[in-house]
Amino acid sequence: MDVAWIDFSQYGLTSAAVGDTSIEVQDKKYDDIWAVSAGFSWPVDDQWTMRVSAAYASAGIDDQNRSFAFRLDRVAGAGVGAQYQWDKDRLVGVNLTYYDLGDVRIEQNVPLVGTLSSEYSSNYALGLDFSIRWLR
């Protein structure tokens, strides 16, 4: 199990929008990011080990401060995997993880255009990794 804290509130990103008579500058307000992950593995026999995992990381930015240039939302994930003992000195593993990346709701005022808004109906990623580990 892991717990992480990222001092994201200190991150600075300023956006500027140029209109016909003005320049609008916004300093985005970010939040610290908290994350937790946990995994569990169990041996099936002398050669195979199965694995499951789950993770969550907070958004780091509130919906009202999100922009089209910086669309960070919370992340939740779950995965399954297996490890095979190829020989006495080598392990081979494979993992598949599903990540739900949130709806990334955005409502932003753009000069000369007005208010633009967006939201994902599905926003996800799949992670597939392979590993080989030598024990010597």
Q: Rounded to the nearest 5°, which phi and psi values hold at 121?
A: -85, -30
pLDDT classification of 90: cutoffs 50, 70, 90? very high
> Among residues 108, 120, 89, which one has the least CA distance to residue 26?
108
State the greatest distance between any 2 C-alpha atoms of the chain, in Å, as a whole number. Answer: 73
Residue 86: its pLDDT value, please? Answer: 93
Q: What is the pLDDT of residues 100-131, one digit of tens each?
A: 999 888 887 777 778 888 888 889 999 999 99
Domain carrying residue 112: 2-134
> Among residues 61, 80, 76, 63, which one has the least CA distance to residue 125?
76
* Number of domains the chain is built from: 1
Of residues 106 and 23, more confidently modeled: 106
Which sign does the torsion angle of CA 30, 100, 126, 108 carry? Answer: negative
